[in-house]
Amino acid sequence: MLMFIGRKLAAGLVLFIAVTFVTFLLVFSNGEESVRNNLGELATEDQIAQRVNELNLDQPVLVQYVKWLGSLLTGSLGRSFNSGETVTSILATRIPVTLSIIFLALLVTSVLSIAVGVVSAVKGGWVDRSLQFLAGGAAALPSFLVAIALTFLFAIALPIFPATGYVPFGEDPGRWATSLVLPIAALVIHMVANSAQQFRGAMVDALKQDYIRTLRSRGVPERAVVLRHALRNAAAPGLTILSVQTIGLVGGAVLIEQIFALPGVGQFTIRAAIAGDLPSVMGVVVFGTLLVLVVNILADVVNAWINPRVRLS
Stretch that binds another protein, among 31-39, 228-236, 239-247, 304-312 (CB under 8 A): 31-39
Q: How far apart are CA 90 and CA 99, in angstroms?
A: 14
Q: Does 178 bind another protein (CB under 8 A)?
A: no
Nearest distance from C-beta of residue 85 to another protein, angstroms: 6
Q: How far is the CB of 251 from another protein (least distance, A)?
A: 16
Contact criterion met (CB below 8 Å) for 191 and 185: no
Nearest to 106 by CA among 253, 287, 233: 253
- Give yes or no for residue 297 binding another protein (CB under 8 A): no
Is residue 85 involved in binding another protein (CB under 8 A)?
Answer: yes
Closest distance to another protein from the beta carbon of 21 (Å): 23
Among 27, 51, 64, 202, binds another protein (CB under 8 A): 51
Long-range contacts of 250-253 (CB under 8 A, 24+ apart): 250/98, 250/102, 250/288, 250/291, 250/292, 252/105, 252/143, 252/187, 252/190, 253/98, 253/101, 253/102, 253/187
Nearest approach in angstroms of CB 62 to another protein is 25
Question: Does residue number 260 form part of the binding site for another protein (CB under 8 A)?
Answer: yes
Residue 268 binding another protein, by CB under 8 A: yes
The CB density around residue 294, as the number of other CB atoms within 10 Å, is 12
* Residue from 55, 87, 90, 146 binding another protein (CB under 8 A): 90
Span between the terminal Cα atoms of the chain, in Å: 12
Note the Cα 185 to chain centre separation in Å: 15
The C-alpha angle 129, 131, 137, rounded to 5 degrees, equals: 105
By CB under 8 A, tell whether 270 contacts another protein.
yes
Q: In this complex, which beta carbon is closest to another protein, that of residue 208 or of residue 271? A: 271
Stretch that binds another protein, among 21-29, 112-120, 149-157, 282-290 (CB under 8 A): 149-157
What contacts 7, CB < 8 A, 6 or more positions away?
A: none
Name the residues that contact another protein, by CB under 8 A.
33-34, 36-44, 47, 50-51, 82-85, 90, 93-94, 144, 147-148, 151-152, 155-156, 159, 162-166, 258-261, 263, 267-268, 270-271, 274-276
